[in-house]
């Protein structure tokens, strides 16, 4: 089994730590912000799958290997859990049988047969072997995992009896031969791990969830069709009630009176763990303790969470199915398969860390005294010290401390706001002022207290650029605008991705613009004066040229007259 039972989709896992908070055994390792299930620590209750808001946890699909077995010519045998009517809403088993045979299954039977054997085996065990301590039922694989991995000292309390799935798998193997491919179909994720347990391996080939089967039927276009069951005789077999609280005790024919102190029934991991503590402390005097990890029983298994209605609607469907079903034929006791089960201490050792090592981790998140340890649980751990130990174990990261990261983020933000020479404004989607930097307070001549929550128009009368950025998401970069009668600024306005916020960074260029205007006015004045000088010079040149022209003409006339006189004188 190479593919993990529960895997994480990294594209959807987003630093929320919700799975860590809800995991009863803290089997989630967070690395680089991604939460991954650690198989050696996991009890496969499916809580992380139920609680993940981003649906980032995926369950291993058995459909490919079942299809491959079908293609290889293997004979497919289906064992369908008693909680199936609550999921598929059928009233007669032949409806489910017909749908599965269309998928390629040769034989389809109810796991209730194995449940009946297991219930009676529990009764025989407590009657033939008197016990001075409570016997814990062994039908829920999550409870078995919990005891083997976290409470191995309570293994002697576990009934040495297999689960209904394994019991039925062994019955089917006797009936159809070892070459048949046994497929269990139910509401439980832990069954996928149970079939690979060393003490149980070989009884069942594959475990498919109801959800996995529903997806397969949908892909093949197969619908479970209703049939007339009015002629069916009613059933007196209690094993079909196995998936509800008290189902095993009822199947065993024991006292189901909820006020009977000799029989204890509990569901939900927190309640079950409390009972295990009571057993360890010697405070519980019951003969038989039926524990079911899922609140309400198997009808609320992790593969049942997408159903309409609640636990009691599912419970009613199972009860109605039980009342309207014919009894099945129980094989004689001597022909039953071996139902014995042995258990192993699978507890992972927790390394010891010194007080100095724990303190060093706490100091990294600014926790130096007891008062600094908020124990808020936001990281998923009940205390700061527990989270520090998890960090040392490689199960958690220092940055998972939400209050520390928030203070750090706010301090960095405040440093930027305080030291920036430019004015910074933070606005909400309605252009309400959320924060302004000290330089912005100086620029606009106000304090944050004066304007927080007020509209931007309180500072900037014309704010069309802000509206454009808010509505389009297109930033405004380096645009020079006059903010009011006395201020001119270079604007940079951006929309914060994923948040209804705008951030504006403004550089005051009022003095620069004033100097620029003075320069332009001086240049204009200088240009005008230059033009005036040129005009005067041209006028002078023109007058000089005019005078030179008159003098030249007179000289020419005089010279011409003199030449004429000399010529006349010569001819005389």
Q: What's the CATH code of the domain at 20?
A: 3.30.70.20
Quick check: 147 and 43 in contact, CB under 8 A?
Answer: no
Helix (H) or strand (E) holding 344: none
Same domain, yes or no, for 122 and 219? yes
- Of the residues 306, 335, 364, the one at which a domain ends: 335
Same domain, yes or no, for 215 and 78? yes
CA–CA gap between residue 545 and residue 229 (Å, rounded): 129
Q: What is the pLDDT of residue 235?
A: 47
pLDDT mean by block of 10 residues, the chain; 572 residues: 86 90 96 94 95 93 95 95 92 92 95 93 86 89 97 96 96 91 96 93 94 94 78 58 88 72 90 95 91 94 81 88 74 90 94 95 92 92 95 94 80 72 90 90 89 91 91 91 85 85 88 67 72 76 72 67 65 56
CB-facing half-sphere around the CA of 499: CA atoms within 13 A: 8
Residue 493's nearest CA partner among 455, 485, 501 is 501
Q: What is the pLDDT of residue 514?
A: 64
Looking only at the bridges linking them, the beta strands covering 6-8 and 76-80 are unpaired
- Of the residues 60, 88, 104, the one at which a domain ends: 60
Q: Give 265's strand partners.
A: 290
Residues contacting 142, CB < 8 A, separation 6+: 43, 44, 45, 188, 190, 269, 293, 294
Same domain, yes or no, for 455 and 524? no
CA–CA gap between residue 187 and residue 193 (Å, rounded): 13
Q: Give 360's strand partners.
A: none
Same domain, yes or no, for 116 and 215? yes
Same domain, yes or no, for 476 and 544? no
Q: What's the CATH code of the domain at 326?
A: 3.40.950.10
Q: How many domains does the chain have?
A: 5
Do the domain assignments include residue 104? yes
521 burial type by CB count under 10 A (0-12 exposed, 13-18 middle, 19+ buried): exposed
Record the pTM. 0.74
Same domain, yes or no, for 282 and 157? yes
Do the domain assignments include residue 410? no
Same domain, yes or no, for 135 and 170? yes
Helices (H) then strands (E): counts for the chain: 20, 16
CA–CA gap between residue 481 and residue 469 (Å, rounded): 15
Same domain, yes or no, for 424 and 504? yes
Residues contacting 291, CB < 8 A, separation 6+: 136, 137, 140, 143, 266, 267, 272, 275
Quick check: 342 and 197 in contact, CB under 8 A?
Answer: no
Q: What is the pLDDT of residue 413?
A: 65
Do the domain assignments include residue 16? yes
Tokens of residue 163, six digits:
């689960």
Helix (H) or strand (E) holding 32: none
Do the domain assignments include residue 487? yes
CA–CA gap between residue 419 and residue 429 (Å, rounded): 26
Do the domain assignments include residue 413? no
CA–CA gap between residue 177 and residue 168 (Å, rounded): 13
Same domain, yes or no, for 269 and 180? yes
Q: What's the CATH code of the domain at 483?
A: 3.30.450.20
Do the domain assignments include residue 415? no
Same domain, yes or no, for 394 and 444? no
Same domain, yes or no, for 126 and 275? yes
CA–CA gap between residue 446 and residue 556 (Å, rounded): 85
CA–CA gap between residue 143 and residue 155 (Å, rounded): 11
CA–CA gap between residue 125 and residue 159 (Å, rounded): 8
- Of the residues 466, 490, 508, the one at which a domain ends: 508
Please state, in angstroms and as integers, the Cα–Cα distance from residue 42 to each residue in 32, 38, 343, 475, following that order: 20, 6, 17, 48
Residue numbers of the domain that contains 564: 515-572
Tokens of residue 257, six digits:
């009176």
Do the domain assignments include residue 497? yes
Do the domain assignments include residue 349? no
Same domain, yes or no, for 432 and 462? yes
């Amino acid at each position: 089994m190479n593919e993990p039972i529960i895997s994480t989709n990294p594209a959807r896992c987003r630093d929320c730590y919700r799975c860590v908070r809800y995991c009863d055994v803290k089997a989630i390792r967070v690395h680089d912000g991604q939460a991954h299930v650690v198989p050696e620590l996991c009890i496969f209750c499916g809580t992380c799958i139920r609680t993940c808001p981003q649906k980032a946890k995926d369950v291993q699909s058995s459909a490919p290997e079942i299809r491959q077995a079908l293609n290889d010519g293997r004979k497919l045998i289906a064992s369908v859990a008693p909680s199936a009517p609550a999921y598929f809403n059928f009233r007669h088993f032949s409806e489910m049988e017909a749908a599965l045979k269309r998928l390629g299954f040769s034989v389809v039977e109810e796991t209730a047969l194995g449940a009946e054997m297991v219930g009676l085996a529990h009764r025989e065990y407590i009657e033939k072997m008197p016990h001075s301590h409570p016997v814990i039922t062994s039908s829920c694989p999550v409870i078995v995992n919990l005891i083997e991995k976290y409470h191995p000292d309570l293994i002697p309390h576990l009934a040495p009896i297999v689960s209904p799935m394994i019991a039925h798998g062994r019955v089917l193997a006797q009936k159809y031969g070892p070459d048949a491919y046994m497929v269990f179909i139910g509401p439980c994720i832990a069954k996928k791990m149970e079939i690979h347990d060393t003490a149980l391996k070989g009884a069942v080939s594959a475990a498919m969830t109801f959800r996995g089967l529903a997806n397969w039927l949908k892909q093949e276009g197969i619908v479970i069709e209703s049939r007339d069951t009015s002629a069916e005789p009613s059933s007196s077999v209690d094993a079909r009630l196995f998936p509800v609280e008290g189902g095993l005790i009822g199947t065993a024919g024991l006292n189901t009176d909820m006020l009977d102190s000799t029989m204890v029934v509990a569901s939900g991991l927190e309640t079950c763990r409390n009972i295990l503590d009571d057993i360890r402390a010697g405070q519980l005097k019951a003969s038989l303790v039926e524990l079911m990890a899922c609140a309400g029983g198997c009808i609320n298994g992790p593969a049942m969470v997408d159903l309409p209605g609640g636990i009691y609607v599912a419970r009613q469907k199972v009860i109605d199915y039980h009342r309207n079903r014919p009894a099945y034929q129980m094989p004689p006791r001597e022909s039953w398969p071996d139902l014995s089960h042995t258990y192993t201490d699978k507890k992972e050792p927790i390394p010891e860390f010194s007080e100095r090592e724990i303190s060093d981790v706490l100091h990294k998140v600014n926790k130096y005294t007891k008062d600094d340890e908020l124990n808020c649980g936001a990281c998923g751990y009940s205390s700061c010290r527990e989270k520090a130990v998890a960090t040392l174990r490689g199960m958690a990261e220092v940055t998972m401390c939400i209050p520390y990261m928030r203070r750090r983020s706010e301090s960095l933000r405040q440093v930027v706001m305080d030291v920036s020479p430019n004015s910074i404004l933070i606005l909400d989607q309605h252009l309400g002022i959320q924060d302004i930097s000290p330089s912005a307070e100086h620029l606009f001549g106000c304090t944050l207290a004066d304007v927080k929550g007020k509209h931007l128009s309180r500072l900037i009368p014309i704010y069309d650029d802000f509206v454009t950025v808010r509505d389009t998401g297109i930033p405004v970069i380096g645009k020079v605008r006059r903010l009011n009668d006395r201020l001119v600024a270079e604007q940079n306005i951006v929309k914060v991705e994923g948040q209804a916020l705008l951030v504006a960074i403004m550089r005051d260029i009022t003095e620069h613009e004033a100097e620029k205007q003075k320069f332009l006015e001086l240049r204009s004045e200088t240009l005008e004066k230059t033009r005036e000088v040129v005009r005067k010079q041209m006028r002078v040149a023109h007058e000089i040229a005019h005078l030179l022209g008159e003098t030249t003409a007179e000289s020419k006339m005089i010279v011409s007259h003199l030449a004429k006189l000399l010529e006349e004188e010569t001819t005389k």
